[in-house]
Chain A
Amino acid sequence: LSRIGDELYLEPTESGLSLRAVNSSRSAFASFLFAPLFFQLYEPGSAGPDTELFRCKVHMKSFLGIFRSLPSLEKSVGKCLILLKPRASRLVLQLHCKYGVTKTHNLAFQECERLQAVFDTQRCASRLCAPARVLAEAVVHFPLTLAEVTLGTGPGGKISLRNYVEEEAEPSKTMVTELWLAEDEFQSVAVTPGSNITFCLKEFRGLLSFAEASNLPLTIHFDEPGRPVIFTLDDTVLEVHLVLATLSNLESNSQSPSTNGVSHLPATSDDFPDDLESYMIAMETSEGGIEGPPSPTFPLCTPPPAESEPEEDEEEEGAVPGTPPHKKVRGGCAWGQGVGRASSLSPQFSPQFRSLFFGSVMTPGRPGPTTNQEVLVEDSDGES
């Protein structure tokens, strides 16, 4: 998560503890959801009818500093206790170590809005699943400094990885590395032939090393260029999502399907990425709208997963039997509508990475689906 952002968002939910991060340009989002079974004890606290479970964010460096040396942690730490104390404004991490020694860290936190990227794996036309090792071995051929890589689907079900070269780059001075992976290297391949997406490799590497270390297969969901690519890891007690924006081509945007509620998007200002937080987006889900009254205290971006899940429980087409269905897809909000809009309103940003839209607010007091949503500033506290 530290490869993505400088702040760690902690969100206890009924389904587990979610740790999230987003990068400064809002083009990468990652979340790790640890199910209650992962812990010896998990008490998310109680949410009242009007309040949500408390969530906060801390500086990534401060949090990581507590877990500095993994080898020594493994040797000397027996258990770790994490307590969120809103009234004391402290996140307490207590490590119970060898010899009866106790290390207690009291971290200052900031309250925050819910951090949630808008994406939907169900709406991705293509899906690949491979052991992390296969992808790690493929990625090792690219230099560590390489920013972007293009993943493509070729003839015969082959998958290609190629470093992305800017159009402005001089052909004589650039090196292109391309490698092809056969279909049988993957655990499952369900792709649209001839598709390709370009995303940031640096942010992906972090997840890849985690996947390798935990020996979990990695699933890649992607669609057209410009729509986000979603990497997922699934385990009995852990669910990981990494959502990266992909490079889009201006021409393809006009074909973006639009759904309800998009038409009310206002014009962006010229510095579009900076004004993202004040950008209005459509919050509607294509499945039928947001249910439940909005919370007056803490704005919700989506209904709680339980309410919007039923349609998403079925396995995807072409899924390998035994592959767990993607039950806990976040949000369920349609993706891409805003993107299509954005590109047409800010022509100077092409081709470029589209920032991910983050579901954040619902206008309080209005029941049912809303078509005109105001996006409030995501972090309730300004300066860190």
Chain B
Amino acid sequence: MPFSAQPPASGERYALSASLDNARHLSSLLRAVHFQEHATCLATASGLRVTVEDAKCIQANAFIQAEIFQEFSVQEESVMFRISLSVLLDCLTIFGTSSLPGTSTALRMCYRGYGYPLMLFLEEGGVVTVCKINTQESDELLDFDFCSTKVVNKIILQSEGLREAFSELDMTSEVLQITMSPDKPYLRLSTFGNAGSAHLDYPRDSDLMEAFHCTQTQTNRYKISLLKPSTKALALSCKVSIRTDAQGFLSLQYMIRNEDGQICFVEYYCCPDENITEAEL
């Protein structure tokens, strides 16, 4: 494959080609789902979705809509490949991660198609870096079959209220237990660690509550090690929606506002650890 240091002319057919004035719009979102080495990228006309999975129990998706990009074109109906997310992030942040005001890294991304590497052209202050990252075939992704019609309980909170709680979660606890109920305690996050148990209660009438739709009392436990990475997404977000379905599957959706005020989403899906009906003290 011929290697060229120049960005491709717009006439060439690339399965995916995109331009972004500020690579941070992409890198910060990808960091929010970076808890595994590899990710699956899916590009469609509506934008880019990057998926990371672990243990067949948890899936995180970062969505960057086409509107965020200055240029975004996908030739086929959809383009999908597997790539090292660690390497991708290293390349996107090759000029450093600190954000000086007024400076940003410009990005041009090109993908010829199946079997070809992903090309990145990054420019900052007149310096250009070209990266070529090998791609792989994507494995089948988990389908949590989580749709809004099956949602039993839904709460939307301002992220500010959860940020500290998540960063201070007792990691000696194996599980994070989430109780959602139309009655007290409404929303309760619990851990059971070496020191003892800890419960964090959010009342229904709290100023943090943006929406509260709970139809039945549910208590579910999730492996804390799987959910802990979601703290990154929480840190970036302004709002979070917590939803559970009848099986206890958890959906966390984070609304993230980037530097230019545009909205992007990151979501985490998680399987419950086991079925329990009563919380331990």
Contacts and interface: CB of A to CB of B under 8 A. Distances in A.
Interface in B156-171: 161, 164-165, 168, 170
A205 interface: no
Interface stretch (B47-55, B203-211, B251-259): B203-211
A101 B164 CA distance: 12
A126 B198 CA distance: 48
A105 B198 contact: yes
A101 B198 CA distance: 13
Nearest to A65: B195
A101 B281 contact: no
Interface in A55-94: 59, 61-62, 65-66, 68-69, 72, 76, 88, 90-91
Contact of B198 (A69, A76, A99, A104): A104
A35 interface: no
Contacts of A104: 198-201
Nearest to A63: B195
Contacts of B205: 100
B194 interface: yes
Interface in A21-80: 59, 61-62, 65-66, 68-69, 72, 76
Contacts of B198: 66, 103-106
Contact of A62 (B164, B165, B195): B195
A106 B206 contact: no
Given A62-B195, A65-B195, A108-B195, A100 B200 contact: no
Contacts of B208: 99, 101
A102 interface: yes
Nearest to B203: A100
B121 interface: no
B281 A90 contact: yes
Nearest to A58: B195
Interface residues of A, number: 22
Contacts of B281: 88, 90, 106
Contacts of B200: 101-104
A107 interface: yes
Contacts of A68: 168
Nearest to A107: B196
Nearest to B197: A106
B35 interface: no
A208 B161 CA distance: 35
Interface string A102-121: 11111110000000000000
Contacts of B195: 59, 61-62, 65, 105, 107-108
B206 A105 contact: no
Contact of A72 (B161, B164, B203, B207): B164
Given A99-B206, A100-B202, A101-B202, A62 B197 contact: no
Interface in B136-194: 161, 164-165, 168, 170, 194
A105 B203 CA distance: 17
Given A88-B281, A99-B206, A76 B196 contact: no
A99 B210 CA distance: 12
Contacts of A99: 161, 202, 206-208
Contacts of A69: 164, 168
Contacts of A101: 161, 200-203, 206, 208
Nearest to A109: B196
A89 to B, nearest CB: 10
Nearest to A61: B195
Q: Which of B170, B194, B198, B281 gathers most chain A CB within 10 Å? A: B198
A61 B171 CA distance: 14
B180 to A, nearest CB: 15
21 contacts: A61-B195, A69-B164, A69-B168, A76-B164, A88-B281, A91-B196, A99-B207, A99-B208, A100-B205, A100-B207, A102-B200, A103-B165, A103-B198, A103-B199, A104-B198, A104-B200, A105-B196, A106-B196, A106-B199, A107-B195, A108-B196
Interface of A: 59, 61-62, 65-66, 68-69, 72, 76, 88, 90-91, 99-108
Given A101-B200, A104-B200, 17 more contacts: A59-B195, A61-B195, A62-B196, A69-B164, A69-B168, A90-B196, A101-B208, A102-B201, A103-B165, A103-B198, A103-B199, A103-B201, A104-B198, A105-B195, A105-B196, A106-B197, A107-B195
The 4 closest A-B pairs by CB, nearest first: A62-B195, A100-B206, A107-B196, A102-B201
